[in-house]
Amino acid sequence: MGMYPRKCKPVNEGCPKRPFLTSYKTINYGSVFKKVLAYHPQQTLQKPVSCSGIGVHSGKKTSITIKPAPENHGIRFRRTDLPGTPDIPALFKMVVDTSLATVLGSQGAIVSTIEHLMAAFTGIAIDNALVEIDGYEMPIMDGSARDFTAMLKEAGCRKQEKPRWFFVATKPITIRDNDKYVTVEPYPTFRITCSISFTNPVIGTQKLVFDLSKDNFHEDISHARTFGFIQDLKYLQMFNLGRGGSLDNAVVIDNDRVLNESGLRYPDEFVRHKLLDCLGDFALLGMPILGHIQTYKSGHDLNHKFIKTFLEQKDAWETRPVEITSP
């Protein structure tokens, strides 16, 4: 999530049904199919967990409870404050806005700023969960995915019977917007390379290559906070946005210095948070990817435009379960 305005257009495109990984073996669906002993299984939580906090834009307090869900359920948000408690599937086709955060909508209901929790689901490898929320905006917590990740780890993971399905990239796909781009190319596991470039000297140019596993996400990525510039926060608040934004839930930059007394959590916290946002956006595919994603100066809008292109180019990927092998 970002704190400064970006141009966007609502997107609405289909996504295949859904059904992490550090080693894998591709599967020949011929004569050896019946010899496969085990696939990476879907996972849910062992028990419900709850938290509450304010929304970064609304400034309103909301509470969420994350509950276990059955196989092939996917991630869904349920608005418990609305009549009929409508569900909103966490899928790309439900995206209605990407200007300041990722917003999903269905049945006249919306849920906003879901990317940090979605990144945590990806980082912990949770496929199926029900997120009950009593308002339209997710709590921002400390501006990172740290608290959400800790909650999910506290709840524990429970393996399920059915296999997890993957998008397996078979051809490169790239989209560009001037000098910005997002690309994916075939790769045996999931790797993401994220690069950013700002004229502000506090941020400058940063690049991070990250090979995702359930063991490294919490320490290496989840603590990275959203960031913004003090002048942009003041501008947002003029339009009744960013009402919950503060030094408690964002890294705030004023010219050539960070205003937070505690400083940065990582020397390259800015690119780590951008990578976190990418994980949250790509989680809306409904299945994890085997491939190498590379982004340069990308944000929610370009990420979602790429997902739309990715889903349309059906000859550039296939979906399948992946066999468990020893490291």
Active site residues: 300
Q: Is 87 annotated as a binding residue?
A: no
The answer to whether the beta carbons of residues 76 and 64 sit under 8 Å apart is no
Per residue, the 3-state secondary structure of 171-237, as one string, reads: CCEEEEECCEEEEEECCCCEEEEEEEECCCCCCCEEEEEEECCCCCHHHHCCCCCCEEEHHHHHHHH
Q: Is 277 annotated as a binding residue?
A: yes
The answer to whether the beta carbons of residues 75 and 120 sit under 8 Å apart is no
CA–centroid distance for 142 within its chain = 16
The answer to whether the beta carbons of residues 225 and 251 sit under 8 Å apart is yes
Q: Is 273 annotated as a binding residue?
A: yes
**Structure tokens that stand for 123 in this block:** 């980082």
- 267's CB contacts (< 8 A; 6+ apart) are none
Widest distance between CA atoms in the chain: 65
| CA-to-CA separations, 237 to 84, 187, 253, 280, in angstroms, rounded | 33, 43, 16, 25
Alpha helices in the chain (DSSP H): 115-124, 146-155, 217-220, 230-238, 269-282, 300-312
The answer to whether the beta carbons of residues 232 and 254 sit under 8 Å apart is no
Residue 126 to residue 223: CA distance in whole angstroms? 19
The answer to whether the beta carbons of residues 281 and 94 sit under 8 Å apart is no
Strands 75-79 and 129-133 come out as parallel
Residue numbers in the known binding site are 116, 273, 277
Instruction: List binding-site positions for Zn(2+).
Output: 116, 273, 277
